[in-house]
Amino acid sequence: MKWGEKPYHSLNDEMRRRFGEKVYRLTLNGGMTCPNRDGTLGERGCIFCSAGGSGEFAASPALSIPQQLQAQKAMIRQKRPVRLFIAYFQAYTNTYAPIDHLEKIFTEAIEDPEVAALSIATRPDCLPPETLRLLERLNRIKPVWVELGLQTIHEKTALLIRRGYPLARFEEAVKALRDLGIEVIVHVILYLPGETRAEMLQTIEYLNQADIQGVKLQLLHVLKGTDLADWYLQNPFPIPDQETYVRTLIACVERLDPSIVIHRLTGDGPARLLIAPTWSLRKRTVLNAIHSAFRRENTWQGKYWNLAKEEISNV
């Protein structure tokens, strides 16, 4: 183990290595929508996506980006002194807009002297050439990270959740971004309906070969107002308890390339929307359980990474 505070390559440790101190995330809203909601691909979004487009914790889109930055900073600084921040465009698909709008809002964020890096959550099918060129220019000013919502490598699950693009499109996007020197962070959801533990591990093993720099691991949340919620309430499907989730998460981390930065190990859906699993609302308790499990099992990120590589090579 070589990552400092934790038995995995945490974002906190990576930021201390790069910038010499803790860096906090500011969640921003660029006022965009998604092709899975505006009729281009669909109108209901992915089955788990709430009306807020995963941006329930983001600042108000009624504010300008500089205003959002200042408001978010003020909230964080009420609790602790902070010098550096990550400007994170979170809500909906954050490259799904005219290039002039994207250049304006991303430049406003990256030019803030207290912003150390720019992180942009988007879809692999929303990265046209002009957007890639913009990101390349910005990446010369400060680090730019692009977060891609893969969720799973399994096409049957991708169709079920209405992801709206094939795995090949994800691979094309990763290559295009990496050719420009832009870091890629991938979102993965564990316990999507119908997926086995083995299939979840296959997604992790695939990512080891994908030239990505970060991953966000999250359990499935059933949120009010989503098609997933309607399905769950009518025909409940299995939702893991905390112990089961922790066991599976540890197995994922054990198989993950140790160079990949883990940006998230769990998630905390809005309490007013969350239907299941309700235990996930106790985020500190969940994280403590995860860290306790690492110590109890005497395990760490990449413990079985070489084994995972061998399994893939034999497929």
pLDDT at 45 over 50: yes
pLDDT at 309 over 90: no
Question: pLDDT of 148-168, one tens digit each?
Answer: 999 999 999 999 999 999 999
27 beta partners: 88
pLDDT at 56: 55
pLDDT at 142: 98
- Kindly state the tokens that stand for 209: 């070969």
pLDDT at 243: 98
pLDDT at 313 over 90: no
- Kindly state the tokens that stand for 239: 């939702």
pTM: 0.93
**How does the average pLDDT of the chain come out, rounded?**
93
Q: Looking at residues 112-118, what average pLDDT do you find?
A: 98
Distance between CA atoms of residues 19 and 32, nearest Å = 31
What is the distance of C-alpha 65 from the center of its chain?
21
Question: pLDDT of 174-224, one tens digit each?
Answer: 999 999 999 999 999 999 999 999 999 999 999 999 999 999 999 999 999
pLDDT at 67 over 50: yes
Q: Where are the beta strands (DSSP E) in 167-231?
A: 183-190, 214-219, 222-223
CB of 217 closer than 8 Å to CB of 265: yes
* Annotated domain spans of the chain: 11-313
Question: pLDDT of 237-251, one tens digit each?
Answer: 999 999 999 999 999
CATH class held by domain 11-313: alpha beta
Say how many CA atoms lie within 13 Å of 296 toward its Cβ: 9
Q: Where are the beta strands (DSSP E) in 17-114?
A: 23-28, 84-89
Radius of gyration of the chain (CA): 19
